Amino acid sequence: MSQINYYSAEGLQKLKDELYDLAHVQRPSISNQIAEARDKGDLSENAEYDAAKEAQGILEMRISKLEAVIANARLIDDANIDKSRAFILSTVKIRNKANQMEIEYTLVAESEADIKLRKISVDSPIGKGILGKKVGEIADIQTPGGMMQFEILSITR
């Protein structure tokens, strides 16, 4: 049984677009490569045919996984979420208590995480630590570098 994951509308659409590309662009392309390799003769010693068949297997596995993810995806409706607490799709400004450095992150699903865009997964150590916290609360977070404390400065949607 697959795990339920929550996505923003943008994140879910990105998955659907990827699935469409795999199924309707890449799948026909690999089928053509297999047909061309088959036309070259003896399949027992045809490296192009073997490579194309392997690529097809990997592609079909990826399509299958994406279909399962999309089937178990749930769109986040933040209309009923307590906006005073940090939840998925919240933008949270935090201060490291050790060095007073401030940073702002948006909490997102694992598949939407992108540290360059300051989008962190709710499954990451920092994401888990600040999830459900209110402004003014301190989050004790176990990171690979040791225990850290972050103060929640602001929460926006």
Amino acid at 69: V
Q: 103 and 45 in one domain?
A: no
List for the chain the helix, strand, coil content (%; round to 5): 45, 25, 25
Residue after which a domain boundary falls, among 75, 104, 121: 75
**Residue 17 domain boundaries:** 5-75
Residues 113, 51: one domain?
Answer: no
Which ranges in the chain belong to alpha helices (H)? 9-21, 27-38, 47-71, 125-130
Instruction: Write down which residue in 43, 75, 107 finishes a domain.
Output: 75
Residues 57-93: tens digit of each pLDDT: 999 999 999 999 889 888 876 666 667 889 888 899 9
Give the model's pLDDT for residue 2. 59
CATH code for the domain of 140: 3.10.50.30
**Could you state, in chain order, the average pLDDT of each consecutive group of 10 residues for the chain (157 residues)?**
73 91 94 84 74 91 92 76 82 93 91 90 90 92 89 90
Residue 68 sits in a domain whose CATH number is 1.10.287.180
Q: Are residues 48 and 86 in the same domain?
A: no
Note the pLDDT of residue 154.
93
Q: Is 82 in the same domain as 152?
A: yes
Domain tally, the chain: 2
Report the C-alpha gap between 11 and 17 in whole angstroms.
Answer: 10
- Locus of tokens 């404390």: 149
User: pTM of the full predicted structure?
Assistant: 0.64
Both 62 and 94 in one domain: the answer is no
Q: Tell me the Ramachandran region of residue 136: left when phi exceeds 0, alpha when psi lies from -120 to 50, beta otherwise.
A: left
Q: Of 117, 124, 111, 110, which is closest to residue 91 (Cα–Cα)?
A: 117
pLDDT of residue 43: 65
Q: In this predicted structure, what is the pLDDT of residue 150?
A: 94
